[in-house]
Structure 1
Amino acid sequence: MGAAGEDLAAAFLERHGMAVLERNWRCARGELDIVADDAGQVVGVEVKTRAGLGYGHPAEAVGPEKLGRLCVLTRLWCRERGRDWERARIDVVAIVLPPGGHPLIEHYRAVES
């Protein structure tokens, strides 16, 4: 389900004018699901996918600790690629994929910068 959600998120972001630079970037400190460019600004994107809301909304799984880690990872990615990390931001794409239904995709911009 995670890979399907990431595919949907990448396509969604591109349809809305963002360029996907990298997917599933890993380093010793963790992983970024998607790294994108939004009009010159680097965006670290966390994708959360659920089959339903029985365990809460997918975005609720991204708390302060996770956001802090995403900020560190995005800065590391920027440094590695020579990009401006001071302008980088973190977005969350929350996806609900109900069995047999249409996906619901919500994009939360600049949840932490």
Structure 2
Amino acid sequence: MQGASAEQGTSRRKKGKEGELLAENFLQSKGLRIAARNFRCPLGEIDLVGWDGNTIVFIEVKSRYSRNFGLPQEAVSLSKQKRLTRLGQWYIKQNRLQGRPARFDVVAVDWHRGVPELTWIVNAFEACE
């Protein structure tokens, strides 16, 4: 039983990485410059960090393979928004980007029909504490 669970976890991670790659390619095709992928720090991880002109963009990628639990973007809860805000603040401080405009975007990857449908939500939420 434990092997099946580990296998599902590996499959989920692989699909998640595939969703992140699709999102990255999509965003680049829309003109965003990607600065970092899977940026890790002591507070957690940001899926993608990019630039839209002079604006730094922190991007959360959410993939769903079924609609049983709602749309992918609905998984970016208030607690997740707070964590992403702290991660963004940490990134800005570490990279000496204070004073630059910043925003939080979400890319939802919906696989429920077997073919990925991407939805880019610009400025999906405001920074929160």
TM-score (norm 1): 0.92
Q: 1:105 is matched by which residue type in structure 2? A: L
Q: Which residue of 1 aligns with 2:117?
A: 104
Asked if the contact 1:75/1:85 (under 8 Å) is kept, the reply is: no
Return the match for 1:3 from 17, 21, 31.
Answer: 17
- Decide whether aligned partners of structure 1 residues 4 and 85 sit closer, same or farther in structure 2, where only a CA change above 3 A counts: farther
Asked if the contact 2:55/2:100 (under 8 Å) is kept, the reply is: no
Shift of 1:86: 5.5
Deviations 1:74-109 (A, max 9, x none): 11111111113652110000001246x321000111
Greater strand share, 1 or 2?
Answer: 1
**Which SS does the other structure have where 2:106 is aligned?**
strand
* 4+ runs deviating over 3 angstroms: none
Q: 2:115 is matched by which residue type in structure 1? A: H
Q: Which residue of 1 aligns with 2:66?
A: 52
Q: What are the ranges of 5 or more consecutive residues in structure 1 without an aligned counterpart?
A: none
Q: 1:10 is matched by which residue type in structure 2? A: E
Q: Which residue of 1 aligns with 2:79?
A: 65
Asked if the contact 1:5/1:47 (under 8 Å) is kept, the reply is: yes
What is the aligned-residue identity percentage? 35
Structure 2 Cα separation of the partners of residues 107 and 50 of structure 1: 14
Structure 2 Cα separation of the partners of residues 8 and 25 of structure 1: 17
TM-score (norm 2): 0.81
Structure 1 Cα separation of the partners of residues 82 and 99 of structure 2: 14
Asked if the contact 1:74/1:85 (under 8 Å) is kept, the reply is: no
CA RMSD of aligned residues (A): 1.4
Q: What are the ranges of 5 or more consecutive residues in structure 2 without an aligned counterpart?
A: 1-14
